[in-house]
A and B are shown apart, each in its own frame.
Chain A
């Protein structure tokens, strides 16, 4: 993996050693089941299809065998949801076994705190899971209720305790906490309390994701304007989170993510680096690059588990649609993604930024000709992103050339 000076993150050009998979390659497994539906959530998940779980996992195994055929060994596997932690360790193990992954691969499972105990987490660990991601959202009961969550702070504490006992207590084996800020009725003090409580967990998280509550079209929340977050309040909360998490040794590395050095999520980093990945399960996304042409293809699977099962079991590809991304579009995308991270973008992609009336407050030089978002800039990342200009076309030519050489 190399960061090109022009901002495109490209496939490593060094000769590939088949025994040492230096090229990151990810596999995402979607688990579309939840015990109840949170009214802000737009993910593909169902609360009434538990009878499909085993068929679904079988379908995932079949799909994985087919779609990973000839693919590199996975360097990261991510079980996302939905609520993957509803799976028993043996169920999870069965799917993980079908996903060929490298030794030392990062294997993450998203867990709803109220669904796990020490036995289950030990079972996950034994199956090869290296990282847990807890959907904590808040540590204030009233805020959890406002979000429609069914756990309380005590459930978080005991889930974390169980994680610690199962060995998820350090940098390499550790756990992440997902937080949401800006729920209706959440005061600044509530948010501070959440952050303090999360940092006081034992063992402490090695990684925190903090998401501003987003009103997703089509969700019940979308129809209740009174409960929509206030952007200024969210901005204040973001700044507080950044300050408190940094002070606790978790450094910012992507808009919504902070980690202890070395504990960054490799799987998510893959997305931001425009890396390659295959999605298994309904609604999962995949991305492969065609080294020959320099283009890439992204596609996504059918949305419902029913259809996914039907297609996978009958030997068909479960994809619903996709798009080809030409080299120019890839370049744009790579800048947009890199901008969100601490890697930042090359100065050339924001020509004249230092003359601009606002950009100097939003980006700052980070050495070696790159610009990275300031804290305020992170809050206005879209505004910066739409001002990005990809380098002129000849560098695209170069890239295509490079890709050819590397293949």
Chain B
């Protein structure tokens, strides 16, 4: 009981630590964390709308609603390789569930994402739209799905990185690849018919499509929602199993 309380507090304090360290100067730190996806949105807008004249309404809004949730996933995953290394001194001395450490990273990025939702609202308003009531259940649901999925990936990468120390570079490449393979800067409807099936093989695709549907139309497609949920469960279980098998050796290899 007391132990569980300690684990809960550990999670809170470590997440607070990450937030404090990142937002040293609160408002400025917050602006920085939304500046990055906004800058990307700007670049893609210039490239595809202004230069290549893609036929899409509200393209800026479209970009924003996918880039913000993606940012959460990408940040957590690219930080994963170093999370255990950065906490070597406590892992070598104190016996606590090591999985808490990557979880704090994922939670911290989730909080950043939640804080960036007002920016999405701002863009909706600019495009004469409004948030929908369905956000009230849609956002928590998708948050949970993405939390599970991202945490699963983070557990896999952070655990394996202790045994193969150059995963970091590979992770950056894979995340970039996955970004372009996921319908974020283009809609899934523009994918040619014979590649459509391939989208279903990408665990991030149904989730990103769901976020966008929720933000732009205020609706969730059950098939996409279901497949993103199944992917998140599978990936989380996979991550947890790998973590469980390797975690007892962490103190040895750090």
- State whether these chains interact: no
Chain B residues proximal to chain A, CB less than 8 Å: none
Chain A residues proximal to chain B, CB less than 8 Å: none
